[in-house]
């Protein structure tokens, strides 16, 4: 009940629909943020259809990991940050969350670069679009209309499906797409490997594990709802991968076919115009803008929240600035630093986002190891510890990612 405000009926129906919408689908939608779109576009432009195969293992890993998070959330009723702090001790907790903070600043920067790039296509200067968006995001969170905003964003994130339209407008060679998936052309050079890590790292991002687990708890899901939860997680993962697939196809069939190399997602949008028509370009840019603002709101809030949760500071957007100074301090700092980096003229954004991706790649195996240990701990999970399938996929993923990440770090530092 909200006093004195007349809500239109369609709005109520919409809220009702979103109330039953599961955490898996939400997480899946937020996953395709500016960083994700960039990685998929660059992969498509650079390697054509040759990297499409990565989406299959990415889907399985995503599904297995998110299923574990949902199960841990339901069984323990505790967030991942909580469980890590309680079981891994202060030192590892500090390491993980310092890493999370750095990665998140990098991510936030990427989101604002996405805002700048997409609105630039519509003719708005980044010195206007970025500060305005940042101020809007800050007020949205601090003035507490965030939950409503989250739901509105979610509706807009249906716009991500416009990438399917973009891809079809680009008239891909479906035969070649099929061949590339069935007979993947796997290369062993460092550029190719770093692209693969980038793709998997952006699909299975560390913050998502925390987000997924907390939303399951917030929804009050129970073990009886398990099958529905699993279905929801699967649909969410599928959504992520399907959107990724079409972005890659769109860029592969246009940019790669004409030998155009890009570095940013907005380059892709711009490059689409002469090849697939202005409509495809605008659709691509619009999707990018929505995804960027969505993630630029959610990532800093959730990261600040998990850090505070782990270290025992008051947190939550229902608290006032005075009640939760660390929480709002962190949130504001992440936002300000992210925006400032984007606005510095001539700053090597690509280089910075690459470094943050490497840290991301290092962080992911550490968090996954923590998760695997937690989810197999009988004292925490009771009889709901991992089965053989989850353990096999989990440990193989951890091992592979760890080796690939170390390789990538090696080539970044010494190469």
Partner 1 sequence: MPQPTGTRSFFLSYLLETPLLLPSGAKVKLREVWATSDETPRIAFVTIKLKGETRRLLWDDLDLTKIDSGKYTLTARSEGTLSLQSTDDLVQLRKHLMDRQIVDLDGAKVVRVNDVRLAHVREGLFLVAVDVSFTAILRRLGMELLARKLFVGKVLPRYIPWSEVQAFVPSTGGAVRLASSADRLKTLHPSELADIIENLDVATQAAILDALDQDSMVDVIEEMEPEAQVTILSRMGVEKAADVLEQMDADEVADIIEDLPAQQAEDILQEMEGVASAEVRELLEYEDDQVGSLMSTEYLSFPDSTTAGEVLDTLRRERPDQEHALAVFALDSRQHLSTVVPLPELVMSDPESVLSDLGMERLVWVRDDAPISQVVEILGRYRSLAVPVLDENDHLVGAVTVDDVLDDLLKAGGKRLRG
Binding footprint of partner 1 on the chain (CB under 8 A): 1-7, 12, 19-20, 75-78, 82, 85-86, 89-91, 94, 143-147, 217-220, 222, 301-302, 304-305, 311-312, 315-318, 320, 327, 379, 382
Per DSSP, helices labelled H in 312-348 are 325-343
**Torsion on CA atoms 49, 195, 108, 341, rounded to nearest 10:** -120
Minimum separation from the CB atom of position 11 to partner 1 (A): 10
Buried b (16+ CB within 10 A) or exposed e, 196-228: bbbbbbbbbbbbbbbbbbbbbbebebeeebeee
Nearer to partner 1, 156 or 311 (CB): 311
Contact 45, 251 (CB under 8 A): yes
Nearer to partner 1, 84 or 408 (CB): 84
Structure tokens at 345: 């003229």
Minimum separation from the CB atom of position 285 to partner 1 (A): 30
Residue whose pair of structure tokens reads 């913050």 in the numeric block: 207
Minimum separation from the CB atom of position 364 to partner 1 (A): 22
Contact 263, 111 (CB under 8 A): no
Nearer to partner 1, 114 or 300 (CB): 300
Minimum separation from the CB atom of position 318 to partner 1 (A): 5
Minimum separation from the CB atom of position 314 to partner 1 (A): 8
> Distance between CA atoms of 214 and 260, rounded to whole angstroms?
42
Nearer to partner 1, 300 or 338 (CB): 300
Minimum separation from the CB atom of position 375 to partner 1 (A): 14
Nearer to partner 1, 38 or 108 (CB): 108
Nearer to partner 1, 128 or 223 (CB): 223
Distances (CA, A) of 112 to 43, 136, 344: 21, 12, 12
Nearer to partner 1, 96 or 217 (CB): 217
Minimum separation from the CB atom of position 327 to partner 1 (A): 8
Minimum separation from the CB atom of position 136 to partner 1 (A): 17
Buried b (16+ CB within 10 A) or exposed e, 378-398: eebbeebbbeeebbebbeebb
Report the 10 Å Cβ neighbour count for 154: 17
Minimum separation from the CB atom of position 104 to partner 1 (A): 14
Nearer to partner 1, 2 or 346 (CB): 2
Question: Phi, psi at residue 324, to the nearest 5°?
Answer: -130, 65
Report the 10 Å Cβ neighbour count for 362: 18
Coil, helix or strand at residue 3: coil
Structure tokens at 279: 């409509």
Nearer to partner 1, 351 or 378 (CB): 378
Residue whose pair of structure tokens reads 């969350």 in the numeric block: 97
Per DSSP, helices labelled H in 206-324 are 206-218, 226-251, 265-276, 278-311
Q: Provide the residue count of the chain.
A: 415
Residue whose pair of structure tokens reads 């054509």 in the numeric block: 48
Minimum separation from the CB atom of position 16 to partner 1 (A): 9
Nearer to partner 1, 9 or 351 (CB): 9
């Amino acid at each position: 009940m909200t006093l004195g405000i007349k809500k239109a009926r369609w709005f109520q129906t919409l809220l009702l629909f979103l109330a039953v919408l599961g955490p898996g689908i939400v997480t899946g939608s937020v996953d395709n943020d500016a960083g994700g779109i960039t990685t998929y576009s660059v992969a498509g432009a650079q390697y054509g259809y040759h990297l499409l195969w990565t989406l299959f293992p990415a889907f399985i890993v995503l599904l297995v990991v998110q299923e574990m998070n949902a199960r841990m959330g339901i069984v323990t009723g505790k967030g991942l940050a909580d469980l890590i702090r309680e079981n891994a001790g202060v030192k590892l907790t500090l390491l993980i969350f310092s890493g999370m903070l750095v990665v998140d600043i990098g991510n936030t920067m990427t989101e604002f670069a996405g805002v700048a790039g997409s609105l630039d296509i519509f003719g708005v200067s980044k010195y206007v679009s970025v500060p305005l968006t940042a101020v809007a995001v800050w007020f949205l969170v601090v003035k507490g209309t965030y939950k409503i905003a989250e739901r509105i964003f979610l509706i807009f994130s249906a716009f991500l499906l416009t990438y399917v339209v973009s891809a079809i407008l680009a008239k891909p060679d479906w035969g070649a797409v099929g061949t590339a998936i069935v007979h993947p052309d796997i290369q062993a050079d460092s550029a190719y490997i770093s692209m693969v890590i980038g793709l998997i790292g952006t699909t299975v991002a560390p913050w998502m594990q925390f987000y997924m687990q907390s939303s399951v708890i917030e929804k009050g899901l129970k073990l009886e709802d398990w099958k529905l939860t699993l279905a929801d997680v699967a649909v969410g993962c599928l959504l992520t991968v399907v959107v990724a697939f079409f972005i890659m196809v769109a860029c592969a069939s246009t940019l790669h076919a004409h030998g155009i190399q890009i570095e940013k997602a907005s380059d892709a949008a711009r490059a689409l115009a002469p090849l697939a028509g202005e409509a495809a370009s605008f659709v691509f840019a619009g999707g990018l803008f929505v995804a960027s603002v969505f993630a630029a709101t959610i990532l800093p809030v959730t990261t600040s929240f998990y850090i505070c949760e782990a270290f025992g500071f008051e947190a939550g957007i229902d608290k006032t600035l005075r009640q939760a100074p660390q929480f709002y301090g962190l949130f504001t700092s992440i936002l300000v630093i992210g925006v400032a980096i984007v606005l510095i003229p001539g700053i090597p954004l690509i280089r910075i986002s690459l470094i943050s991706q490497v840290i991301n790649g290092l962080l992911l195996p550490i968090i996954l190891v923590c998760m695997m240990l937690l989810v197999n701990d009988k004292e925490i999970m009771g009889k709901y510890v991992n089965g053989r399938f989850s353990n096999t996929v989990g440990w193989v993923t951890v091992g592979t990612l760890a080796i690939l990440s170390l390789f990538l770090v090696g080539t970044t530092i010494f190469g």
